[in-house]
Amino acid sequence: MKAFRGQPRIFASDQPAEKRADLEVQNVTLNFGGVMAIHDVSLTVHTGEFVSVIGPNGAGKTSLMNSITGYYKPQKGKILFNDQEIMGRHPHEITKKGIGRTYQNIELFPGMTVLSNMLLARHLYCNYGFGLASVFSSSVRKEEVRHRRVLEELIDFLEMQPIRKKPVGSLPYGLRKRVELGRALALEPKLLVLDEPFAGMTLEEKEDMVRFLLELNSAWGQTMILVEHDMSIVMSVSQRIMVLNFGEKIAEGTPEAIQNHPEVIKAYLGETTKF
């Protein structure tokens, strides 16, 4: 991992003002017909934090992430990002505000190469239209150079040089997850939402992903929200953890506090099981 050692060189997020990623979820309630997905849930994420959201299957974790990223519109509450209301905005508008994400189910184009999939994320930063692109003007060439430099740095950081020109559909599932992380980072997000990024990975692939995420948070100052079922990973990477159960928040605190919380032990792992 070379490119992100120390301070990153390329990303717009290099400046402190550009890194700001303060999220406030205030008393959010989301219903689907008569089914309650989230009830009166609040969460605050400060710039530079690595926060995890855990809970049993059906607890409302992905519903909360979908509400933050604009895929669902809660009936009640507020969601603020850097003091701006984002609840109810379309996903592409929220992405432009600086929130990127990976998905529980991989959302890549299998017939395209790793590099091409990541390049698609750079559309947010294209400041030229069809006319200038068709003649490949000097301004277009300068933009393309920057896009390529960002992608090459990410490919180097994520150790994907050997697969950069391979079709995504030919890759093992764990490597596809890594490509999806790369594409999300190509958006240069201020806040990165990770929805079960370790699912389907081997132990070695999980160890690599943990290294990448910790490096992003410590060296780059990337703000992240992680949804994950692997408790050993959650406990090792999180600065703070929120626990959901049946759509309600039952606990929030440090990993040490959460692993000894009686309601968490009862609701998430059973009456007598310990982390």
pLDDT, tens digit, for every residue of 150-186?
899 999 999 999 999 999 999 999 899 999 999 999 9
Q: Do 74 and 94 sit in the same domain of this protein?
A: yes
Distance CA 104, CA 199 (A): 8
How high is the pLDDT of residue 41?
97
Residue 271 lies in a domain: yes
Q: Do 275 and 145 sit in the same domain of this protein?
A: no
Residue 124 lies in a domain: yes
For 164, residues 6+ apart whose C-beta sits below 8 A from its C-beta are 113, 114, 115, 155
Instruction: Say if residues 218 and 49 touch (Cβ distance below 8 Å).
Output: no
Q: Do 145 and 264 sit in the same domain of this protein?
A: no
Region of 13 (left: φ > 0; alpha: ψ -120 to 50; beta: rest) is: alpha
Q: Do 36 and 64 sit in the same domain of this protein?
A: yes
Which residue's structure tokens are 């607890």?
59
Q: Do 196 and 271 sit in the same domain of this protein?
A: yes
- pLDDT at residue 15 tops 50: no
How high is the pLDDT of residue 52?
97
Residue 263 lies in a domain: yes
Name the burial class of residue 132, with classes exposed (0-12), middle (13-18) and buried (19+) by CB atoms within 10 angstroms of its CB: middle
Chain-centroid distance, C-alpha 76: 24
Q: What is the mean pLDDT of the chain?
A: 86
Residue 8 lies in a domain: no
How does pLDDT run across 86-109, given as a tens digit for each residue?
A: 998 999 999 999 999 998 888 899
Q: Do 32 and 141 sit in the same domain of this protein?
A: no
Instruction: Say if residues 79 and 171 touch (Cβ distance below 8 Å).
Output: no
- pLDDT at residue 2 tops 50: no
How high is the pLDDT of residue 165?
93
Give the H or E element holding residue 262.
helix 262-264
**Domain termination residue (choose one: 160, 188, 216):** 188
Q: Do 158 and 228 sit in the same domain of this protein?
A: no
Q: Do 136 and 76 sit in the same domain of this protein?
A: no
Distance CA 60, CA 41 (A): 10
* Nearest residue to 268 (alpha-carbon basis) of 238, 239, 241: 241
Residue 12 lies in a domain: no
Distance CA 5, CA 81 (A): 28
Residue 123 lies in a domain: yes
Which ranges constitute the DSSP H helices of 46-166?
61-68, 91-97, 114-120, 130-135, 138-157
Question: How many angstroms separate the Cα of 252 from the Cα of each of 165, 228, 241, 244?
Answer: 43, 15, 6, 9
- Higher-pLDDT residue of 174 and 25 is 25
Q: Do 91 and 199 sit in the same domain of this protein?
A: yes
| Count of domains observed in the chain | 2
Domain range for 130 is 113-188
Mean pLDDT of 43-69: 95
Burial 231-247 (b: 16+ CB within 10 A, else e): bebbbebbebbbbbbeb
Question: How many angstroms separate the Cα of 275 from the Cα of each of 131, 179, 197, 209?
Answer: 59, 31, 21, 22
Neighbour count for residue 214 (Cβ, 10 Å): 13
How high is the pLDDT of residue 104?
81
Neighbour count for residue 2 (Cβ, 10 Å): 8
Mean pLDDT of 224-245: 95
Mean pLDDT of 25-39: 94
**Domain termination residue (choose one: 132, 166, 188):** 188
Q: Do 184 and 257 sit in the same domain of this protein?
A: no
- pLDDT at residue 225 tops 70: yes
CB-facing half-sphere around the CA of 101: CA atoms within 13 A: 27
Residue 107 lies in a domain: no
Q: In the structure, what pLDDT confidence band is assigned to residue 14 with cuts at 50, 70 and 90?
A: very low
How high is the pLDDT of residue 107?
82
- CATH classification at residue 262: 3.40.50.300
Q: In the structure, what pLDDT confidence band is assigned to residue 5 with cuts at 50, 70 and 90?
A: very low
Residue 108 lies in a domain: no
Q: Do 45 and 94 sit in the same domain of this protein?
A: yes
Q: Do 30 and 92 sit in the same domain of this protein?
A: yes
Mean pLDDT lowest among 59-73, 77-91, 103-117, 179-193: 103-117
**Domain termination residue (choose one: 135, 156, 188):** 188
pTM of the shown model = 0.85
